[in-house]
Amino acid sequence: MPIPKAFTPASVADARSWAAGTLPAEGRGLSGPAILTRDDRSPEAAALLDLLGVHACVLAPLSDAEGSTRGFLAADHGPNGSLPLPGDERCLSIIADQASLLLRYERMSREQARMATVDPLTGAATRRRLMDRLDHLISLSGRTRIPLSLAILDLDHFKKFNDTMGHQVGDRLLQELVGVLTEHVRKTDLVGRYGGEEFVVLFPGADLAGAHVVAESLRHEIFEFGRAHAAAYDHLPISVSVGVAQLRVGEHGDVLEDAQALIGRADEVLYQAKHNGRNRVERAA
């Protein structure tokens, strides 16, 4: 992990190499800031000096929020440089503490970003991520005339699962439903939770006929999953009703509807599927 020279203490400002790395957790001798030399008998110290190719270095641990060591910051004066001076380890420790704070902040930022895009219950994309992706694909389709379709799926009689077996079982069913969907779509497709037991699958590059074929395949896979796991769900039938729609684009590439309108048309035929007996796919005109 390179450290800008401007932030290094004067005592190590001329260090020629900086490195961060991991060492064995059992290396108790490396749990705090220290000056390491070839005179040390610690095998971990020898391994680190061999890694750096020097005869002495300064070491300071990088810790996580719980205080556990997750890595090390090391500084040296090069293979032929002078030995570190007493006190250098305290200077490097200050830098390591600041670096640890930055690493914790970065980790927290990544987790917050992940939570904003991944539904915490099912692992599907959140509605926000789904809509952002759909807006992008609509814009792309307008420029390139590449077709774009989507399917909206609703789990049939989902209330019965919650009322009969409890919400934990209902939650598990939603999780397994997303697992089936994710397993049987392309990497370029996106499965998102639209709300409750409703999910939307984006099919970039697919026209209405192609999306209908995939949606029918997904419906079938979910129904077969229900048959295979009937005992786990009190033999209640597991199925989905599906509505499919393709983005409307004019002759000159002008997009004729936005994301909400596209989903709305798919939603209308979804309710046709429910009205016509459920466990079926309907597609918009």
Taking only the tens place, the pLDDT of each residue in 198-236 is 999 999 999 999 999 999 999 999 999 999 999 999 999
In a 3-state reduction of DSSP, which class is residue 160?
helix
**What is the separation of C-alpha 89 from the centre of its chain, rounded to a whole number of angstroms?**
38
Are the C-beta atoms of residues 45 and 133 closer than 8 Å to each other? no
Which one of 57, 81, 115 terminates a domain?
Answer: 115
Residue 36 and residue 139 in one domain:
no
pLDDT for position 141? 93
Is the sign of the CA dihedral 44, 47, 51, 57 positive or negative? positive
Which burial class, exposed, middle or buried, applies to 97 when counting CB atoms under 10 A from its CB (0-12, 13-18, 19+)?
A: middle
Residue 110 and residue 137 in one domain:
no
Active site residue 111: no
Catalytic-role residue among 44, 89, 197, 282:
197
Confidence of residue 72 (pLDDT cuts 50, 70, 90): confident
The answer to whether residue 144 scores a pLDDT higher than 50 is yes
Q: Tell me the pairing of strands 17-21 and 69-76.
A: antiparallel
Which one of 63, 84, 115 terminates a domain?
Answer: 115
CATH code for position 17: 3.30.450
- 236 in any annotated domain: yes
pLDDT for position 131? 96
Please, what is the Cα angle at 248 between 213 and 177, to 5 degrees? Answer: 40
Q: How many helices (H) and strands (E) does the chain have?
A: 7, 9
| E-only strand ranges, the chain | 17-21, 34-37, 56-63, 69-76, 148-155, 190-195, 198-204, 240-246, 281-283
63 is in which domain, residue-wise? 5-115
H or E segment to which residue 99 belongs: helix 88-117
One-letter amino acid of 36 = L
The answer to whether residue 188 scores a pLDDT higher than 70 is yes
Confidence of residue 30 (pLDDT cuts 50, 70, 90): low
Least confident residue range of 10-14, 146-150, 198-202, 262-266: 10-14
Average pLDDT over residues 265-277: 97
- Identify which of 152, 258, 244, 245 has the alpha carbon closest to the alpha carbon of residue 196: 152
pLDDT tens for 83-126 read 888 888 888 888 888 888 887 777 777 766 666 789 999 999 99
CATH code for position 204: 3.30.70.270
Residue 68 and residue 101 in one domain:
yes
- Count up the domains in the chain and report the number: 2
The answer to whether residue 23 scores a pLDDT higher than 80 is no
